Amino acid sequence: MSEVEIDGGDCFVVAATLAPVVSLDPRCRVYIVHGIPTGSGPIEGVRFWHAWVEAEHRELGFAVAIDHSNGQQAEMPRNSYYKVAQLDEGRIWRFTLHEALERMQLLGHYGPWVYGYQLLDDVRHPGFTLAGYSDSRA
């Protein structure tokens, strides 16, 4: 399976490998999530593809976002993560492990799998190549 990189990031690979480990807790419903956050700091205002894991605790009724991409260990309530990452609910896609595995097998990569959004003018994909599409607008 090929690894898709966005500016050298590893978020899609990390989410795909972390989710099965998180799913070992039978109390949690686990999703691989793809979304388009808005950057801060050095990438202030830049929208880009990103992936993380979400675990919904069945008994306690709360959800946690888990983002271990690029060496970080971010784990926080989902709503807090969405605020920090400036995520818009309309640009978030959740996949069960089964759905994610089907897409990885069919498409041969870790994501993103939501093709209609690849070509949006306000979403940057520096160094991103997938199925013949390359974005060099960096």
- Tens digit of pLDDT for each residue in 101-113? 999 999 888 988 8
For residues 112, 83, 126 and 132, what is the CA-based torsion angle, rounded to 10 degrees?
20
How far apart are the C-alpha atoms of 131 and 129, rounded to whole Å? 7
Total of domains in the chain: 1
Convert the pLDDT of each residue in 44-81 to its tens digit. 888 888 999 999 999 888 999 999 999 999 999 999 99
The better pLDDT of the pair 89, 128 is held by 89
Residue 132 covered by a domain: no
DSSP secondary structure code for residue 102 in this structure: H
> How much is the pTM?
0.79
Q: State the residue range of the domain holding 20.
A: 11-118
Mean residue pLDDT of the chain comes to 81
Residue 37 covered by a domain: yes
Residue 123 covered by a domain: no
pLDDT at 33 over 70: yes
pLDDT at 45: 85
Residue 138 covered by a domain: no
Residue 63 covered by a domain: yes
How far apart are the C-alpha atoms of 80 and 32, rounded to whole Å? 17
Residue 91 covered by a domain: yes
pLDDT at 125 over 60: no
How far apart are the C-alpha atoms of 95 and 69, rounded to whole Å? 18
